[in-house]
Chains A and B, each alone.
Chain A
Amino acid sequence: MSVEHSPRLRAGGRAVPQRRSARGAGRPRLTRTGRAVRGLAGVLVLAAALEILARSGAVAADSLSPTSDIVVRAGELLGDGAFWSASLVPTLKAWGLGLVIAVAVAVPLGLLLGSVPYVNTATRAVVEFLRPIPSVALIPLVSLILGTGLEMKVVLIVYAAVWPVMFNTLYGLGDADPVAKDTLRSFGFGPLAVLWRVTLPAALPFIYTGVRLATSIALILAVGAEILAGFGDGLGIFIGQAMGTLDGTRDVMTGTLLAGCLGLLANSLLAFGERRLFRWHVREERS
């Protein structure tokens, strides 16, 4: 759960814009479509390999299902209302709710820790103790206390997702340019106005990255908690129960595929939003 962005160097470089000369050096970059085509090719090769491996009988049929069966089964499940209400919706609900709460807690917390040094030092010991506990290891404990329902999942997701958002907020606050802050101060803006108009906007791209990290982590917790709890409803329960049936390989693989697709979808949406919202940040990093 480390901070994804590395600190960028900005000594001197900004006063003399060198955007144009920096580009075009070395190998030509892939366009977005180019990257998508390559990614798709990789997926197709993997799918074909799985299909051949399963059909050839090199692996026992009950431990590997061919790709085509999985895709057909996925389509079937997605058309089935009962699957939605028993498996997809409960997981999506815990995932979304947990993320929203985590962000609502982590951003103010990061702001507090970042702007009041005293609070930061006072809480450091607690943070350093809590942070290394793998959140997955908490699943049994939390389900003992809270049972196997929505609350259990949300609590675990919040616990795991708070860290990346909080640390990225904390880190992003330090990224605001001191000259920009001095500029607003010199025009007579007070400390709160400077926080709101300079420090926070400058931190937003980092906070957003934290949310992206938290989204993947939250999905892991949601599905993982369901599988380990083994009881209740959700996509993890679907996978867990299929594991116990005689002919369950196909459903295990289909459930896993669907979980992966959820993560991919969420990440793509967030990446799309990032490009639209933080154009200025991308441009700045390049210059």
Chain B
Amino acid sequence: MLRIDGLSHRYGEHAVLDDMTLEVAEGELVSIVGPSGCGKSTLLRCIAGLISPTSGRVTLDGTPVDGVPDGLAVVFQDYSRSLLPWLTVRDNVALPLRRRGKSKAERRAAADEALASVGLPDAGRKYPWQLSGGMQQRVSIARALAYRPSLLLMDEPFGSVDAQTREDLEDLVLRVHRTGGMTILLVTHDIDESVYVGDRVVVLGRNPGHIRAEIDVTLPPERDQIATRADAEFVRLRAEVGRLVRGAASGPVAA
């Protein structure tokens, strides 16, 4: 579905991404982990067509990405800045559905449903600035889910929520992924999370950002917060990803 071919990007003189090649199958959920500043957000921006890479290309369903592709939703790392302060929470969530040609009533219903699914059934009438950071983050997740994208890019989407809510949101993403059949790229700092939600984990190294390793998550598709995390295979995978990330953070090491 998604192909990234020899993708490099530099901001002026500063090389951020170097010759990345990656393929993501339809309906796959790929976790991306890597040290801060290695170019994860830049990679997502290239895939979203928001910036055009210095060289290399991104292909989606066989057509090169040149501008924003259809059926895309992005959960930005700066979630609070991505919400419009003059719209209520419900209107924020409903706004992208205009692109889907839905009636006003349908948009409202879809927004309310998405807000309930992220645990904010009563926040619809409030304004984003009346919510806590973690609640704003959930609103931006609800907005992406309500849109029912075919490709969902999430940039550290659970960074500001408490541990319990985080687990609920991980399970929510797994659920919509299974039932909606969407392709998801999820950037995270949390190694456990990358293994728990992923079908595959891509580990990035930095200076400049490159793909250091890809690890298939050889766990059954049904995940459970307690049973899966206790699974011996999960523990092994987590240790392996952990070693790779630490190696990536300390600089180039023979792989």
Residues in chain A within 8 A of chain B (CB atoms): 14-17, 19, 177, 179-180, 182-189, 197-198, 201, 279-281, 283-284, 287
Query: How many of chain B's residues have a CB under 8 angstroms from any CB in A?
Result: 27
Q: A15-B133, A186-B73 are in contact. List 15 more A-B contacts (CB 8 A).
A: A15-B78, A17-B132, A180-B83, A182-B76, A182-B82, A185-B50, A186-B50, A188-B70, A197-B84, A197-B95, A198-B84, A280-B86, A281-B85, A284-B85, A287-B129
Contact B78 A179 (CB under 8 A): yes
B72: chain A residues at CB < 8 Å are 186-188
Contact B81 A179 (CB under 8 A): yes
| Residues of chain B from 66 to 123 with CB closer than 8 A to chain A in the complex | 68, 70, 72-74, 76, 78-86, 95-96, 99
The 4 closest A-B pairs by CB, nearest first: A187-B96, A179-B81, A280-B85, A183-B82
Taken together as a complex, chains A and B put the C-alpha atoms of A281 and B79 apart, in Å, by 18
B82: chain A residues at CB < 8 Å are 179-180, 182-183
What is the 8 Å Cβ interface bit string for chain B, positions 27-45, against chain A (1 contact, 0 not)? Answer: 0000000000000000001
Contact A177 B81 (CB under 8 A): yes
B50: chain A residues at CB < 8 Å are 182, 185-186
Chain A at the B interface: SS class: helix
Task: Tell me the smallest distance from the CB of A72 to a CB of chain B, in Å.
Answer: 48
Contact B81 A187 (CB under 8 A): no
Q: Is B58 an interface residue (CB 8 A)?
A: no
Taken together as a complex, chains A and B put the C-alpha atoms of A15 and B140 apart, in Å, by 13
Taken together as a complex, chains A and B put the C-alpha atoms of A177 and B81 apart, in Å, by 7
A177: chain B residues at CB < 8 Å are 81
B84: chain A residues at CB < 8 Å are 180, 197-198, 201
Taken together as a complex, chains A and B put the C-alpha atoms of A279 and B83 apart, in Å, by 16
Taken together as a complex, chains A and B put the C-alpha atoms of A201 and B78 apart, in Å, by 20
A198: chain B residues at CB < 8 Å are 84
Interface centre among B70, B86, B132, B133 (most CB of A within 10 A): B86
Contact B127 A14 (CB under 8 A): no
Taken together as a complex, chains A and B put the C-alpha atoms of A76 and B250 apart, in Å, by 85
Name B67's closest neighbour in chain A (CB-CB). A185
